[in-house]
């Protein structure tokens, strides 16, 4: 499987994770209960929304965009496109910065770590690394 | 050669589509499971566990047919939802009608920074017969004082003082009770009772031998009905038991 297709598969996993967190935040999955774990603290904090929408929903949009671009770049004329590789690096790079900021907020300000957010941050980091490798391959190829 | 390359590409595409479809099926199935199994998670507990030295705050009759315990945290949004959305119906239909005796046990979670002060504020309100008024006001005003909603807000007492005033309490006496932390031991006793029962999240509600977390009124009522039905069955069963016992003794 090509790197770009690996990005598509990982993005799809991210889509389901972000969908779960969005449904949780919107109250469709179990009303919020507070445990000795810290996901509820993070989900109930003001950092769990951005521009009036759940952060998880923005994450869902990010994963959908990564999935769409990587799938489109896996077939036909776009398969070897450098623009697609560049777009994936830029998008996932933005994702890494945003996830990094949210992880900082969790550790430094909320003093709480949500395991789902950690999984998502790892997925974004892996997406970024594969995207960089994909771009380098294109550079070597061109 | 070209034909082989095309065949290889086709096989690779089919493999990719197969993986995508497989991940999608697993993901949809997992989300579907979570959405359709969204009822309260019930844990069976030993009903013989005594209440211990902990004193909950009682609403309703101590000898009501069904005794319900809630382990709650004032800063927990889930507890706030339960108190403001579900509990009014529970009070009107089950507690005020004498079916349920409801006891609130303090269970402040460490990550909720302003919670312990809230528990002290409510416990001190009991001295003036206003525990439940303060309980309701604190939950209704979570947005004003909760550190989860207002990160860094460290003066919840000023908000609770306003509540005490609104509730017509002797604010000076109440404040002295709160600042001297008169009821710290009682709150910790309630918390220890929760720990003894393996309570790990709030709200945790114990109805008969069932321990649940988040419940709607209908789910709560069903659990109460189950306890009443079990009690009725036990009563009818024990009514027939002496005869069976005599038979056994004679054998």
Mean pLDDT throughout B19-35?
88
What value does the mean pLDDT of chain A take? 83
Per CATH, the homologous superfamily of domain B43-231 is Glutaredoxin (3.40.30.10)
**pLDDT tens-digit readout, A10-41:** 999 999 999 988 887 776 765 545 555 566 66
Mean pLDDT throughout B46-64?
71
- The pLDDT value given to residue B243: 42
CB contacts of A37 in chain B (<8 Å) are 201
Q: Cβ of A46 and B16 within 8 Å?
A: no
User: Would you call B151 an interface residue with chain A, using a CB distance cutoff of 8 Å?
Assistant: yes
**pLDDT tens-digit readout, B172-188:** 999 999 988 888 888 88
**pLDDT tens-digit readout, B71-81:** 999 998 889 98
Query: Which structural domains are found in chain A, ordered by start?
Result: 3-141 (1.20.1440.130)
**pLDDT tens-digit readout, B113-169:** 889 999 999 999 999 999 999 999 999 999 899 887 777 788 899 999 999 999 999
Q: Cβ of A36 and B201 within 8 Å?
A: yes
**ipTM score here?**
0.79
Residue boundaries of the structural domains of chain B? 43-231
- The pLDDT value given to residue B35: 76
- The pLDDT value given to residue B209: 85
Q: Nearest-CA distance from A45 to chain B in Å? A: 5
Is pLDDT at A57 greater than 80 in this prediction?
A: yes
Mean pLDDT throughout B87-102?
95
Counting beta carbons within 10 angstroms of the beta carbon of residue A28, is it exposed (0 to 12), middle (13 to 18) or buried (19 or more)?
A: middle
**pLDDT tens-digit readout, B185-234:** 888 888 888 888 888 788 999 998 888 887 889 999 999 999 999 888 88
- The pLDDT value given to residue B33: 80
CA nearest B148: which of B103, B118, B192, B182? B118
- The pLDDT value given to residue B238: 66
The SS3 call for residue B233 is helix
């Amino acid at each position: 499987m090509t790197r770009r297709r690996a990005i598509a598969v990982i993005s799809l996993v991210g889509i389901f994770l972000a969908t779960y967190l969005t449904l949780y935040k919107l109250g469709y999955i179990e009303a919020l209960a507070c445990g000795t774990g810290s996901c509820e603290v993070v989900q109930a904090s003001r950092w769990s929304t951005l521009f009036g929408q759940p952060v998880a929903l923005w994450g869902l949009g990010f994963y959908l965009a990564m999935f769409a671009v990587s799938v489109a770049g896996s077939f036909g004329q776009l398969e070897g496109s450098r623009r697609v590789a560049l777009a994936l690096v830029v998008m996932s790079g933005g994702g890494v910065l945003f996830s990094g900021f949210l992880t900082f907020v969790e550790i430094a300000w909320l003093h709480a770590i949500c395991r789902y957010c950690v999984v998502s941050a790892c997925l974004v980091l892996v997406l970024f690394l594969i995207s960089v490798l994909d771009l380098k391959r294109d550079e070597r190829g061109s | 050669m070209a034909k082989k390359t095309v065949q290889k590409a086709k096989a690779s595409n089919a493999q990719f589509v197969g993986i995508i479809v497989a991940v999608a099926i697993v993901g949809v199935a997992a989300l579907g499971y979570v959405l359709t199994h969204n009822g309260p998670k019930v844990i069976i507990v030993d009903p013989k566990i005594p209440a211990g030295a902990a004193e909950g705050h009682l609403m309703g009759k101590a000898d009501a047919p069904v005794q319900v315990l809630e382990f709650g945290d004032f800063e927990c949004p889930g507890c706030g939802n339960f108190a403001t959305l579900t509990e009014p119906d529970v009070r009107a239909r089950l507690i005020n009608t004498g079916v349920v005796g409801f006891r609130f046990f303090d269970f402040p979670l460490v990550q909720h920074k302003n919670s312990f002060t809230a528990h002290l504020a409510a416990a001190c309100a009991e001295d003036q017969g206003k525990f439940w008024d303060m309980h309701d006001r604190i939950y209704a005003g979570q947005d004003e004082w909760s550190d989860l909603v207002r990160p860094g807000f460290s003066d919840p007492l000023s908000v609770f003082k306003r509540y005490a005033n609104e509730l017509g309490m002797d604010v000076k006496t109440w404040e002295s009770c709160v600042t001297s932390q008169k009821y710290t031991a009682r709150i910790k006793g309630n918390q220890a009772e929760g720990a003894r029962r393996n309570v790990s999240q709030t709200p945790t509600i114990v109805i008969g031998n069932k321990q649940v977390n988040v419940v709607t009124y209908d789910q709560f009522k069903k659990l109460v009905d189950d306890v009443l039905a079990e009690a009725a069955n036990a009563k009818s069963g024990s009514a027939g038991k002496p005869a069976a016992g005599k038979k056994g003794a004679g054998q």
